[in-house]
Structure 1
Amino acid sequence: MAFKKIFIKWGIAIVVVSTIAILYKNYNPGEIHLFPKCPFWAITGLKCPGCGSQRAVHHLLNLEVLSAAKENILLVLSIPYILAGLIIERLKNPSEKLLVWRKRLYGRTAIYIILAIIIAFWIMRNLLH
């Protein structure tokens, strides 16, 4: 019974993620009005740290890394970081060295550094644009 529920949940998740990936691969959010627009930009006319993420995802799914970076470099750089964290968390018996790196990369200090990077990115992208 438990296996069946897990199978159904994963099946639904795979279908949803695949459908979204197909949409983002085939349709550029910058050209199609099907995708949601940034409410922060709509209200203020300023870009938030996430602005351009949908277009960046479209470009990444089409293997256009430079175009994706032009849309939102923060998203492009965060993907390997997030994937590394997910992989480390899934390991059954990580080594002591890996645990030290996990603490360095995902500990409290790292969180503050990432927050500072996001805020700096938010400010700079609006000053330079």
Structure 2
Amino acid sequence: MTVTKIGKWGGLLLLGLLLLVIYGSFDPSESGYFPACPFYSVTGLECPGCGSQRALHQLLKMEFLNAFKQNALLVIAIPYVLFGFYLDRLAKPSEKTYTWKRKFYGKKAIYLVLGIICLFWIFRNL
């Protein structure tokens, strides 16, 4: 690994840790530091990301049910994204790894995830 890659990954790791400390320390529903959703501000409807900041805060406090109530899609998406990161960066390349990547992150999976996001967006506003 080159020095540039180490610096890039180190910087991203530090930024991620800083964000986790901020979200763990301050409640987005009570603090004025966090931005409001522009879509909600304009339309009064919740987008798929609405409640993500509050859900992350609840997850960091280990209150999974409250996090799920704030934004179920985020809570479900975190393991999915982490699995993709594992397959892409940490798993040894093999036929099995390729099969998992194709099954969970291929073209059909992308359309399925898009459909889930759209359905979540619609049903949370009914």
TM-score (norm 1): 0.89
Partner residue, 2:105:
106
Secondary structure at the aligned position of 1:51 is classed as coil
Post-superposition shift, 1:19?
1.3
Q: Tell me how far apart the structure 2 counterparts of residues 7 and 97 of structure 1 sit (CA, whole Å).
A: 28
Q: Tell me how far apart the structure 2 counterparts of residues 99 and 12 of structure 1 sit (CA, whole Å).
A: 29
Secondary structure at the aligned position of 1:28 is classed as coil
Task: Please give the per-residue CA displacement for 1:71-126, whole angstroms capped at 9, x wherever unaligned.
Answer: 000000011111111111122322x2332222111111111111111000000000
Q: Percent identity?
A: 46
C-alpha distance 28-5 of structure 1, shift in aligned 2 (>3 A): same
Partner residue, 1:70:
69
Partner residue, 1:92:
92
Partner residue, 2:10:
11
Q: Tell me how far apart the structure 2 counterparts of residues 58 and 107 of structure 1 sit (CA, whole Å).
A: 31
Q: Tell me how far apart the structure 1 counterparts of residues 108 and 77 of structure 2 sit (CA, whole Å).
A: 17
Q: Which runs of 4+ in 1 moved over 6 A?
A: none
Secondary structure at the aligned position of 2:47 is classed as coil
Segments of structure 1 that go 5 or more residues without pairing to the other structure are: none
C-alpha distance 22-31 of structure 1, shift in aligned 2 (>3 A): same
User: Superposition RMSD on alpha carbons, in Å?
Assistant: 1.5
Secondary structure at the aligned position of 1:126 is classed as coil
TM-score (norm 2): 0.91
Q: Tell me how far apart the structure 1 counterparts of residues 96 and 18 of structure 2 sit (CA, whole Å).
A: 39
C-alpha distance 114-81 of structure 1, shift in aligned 2 (>3 A): same
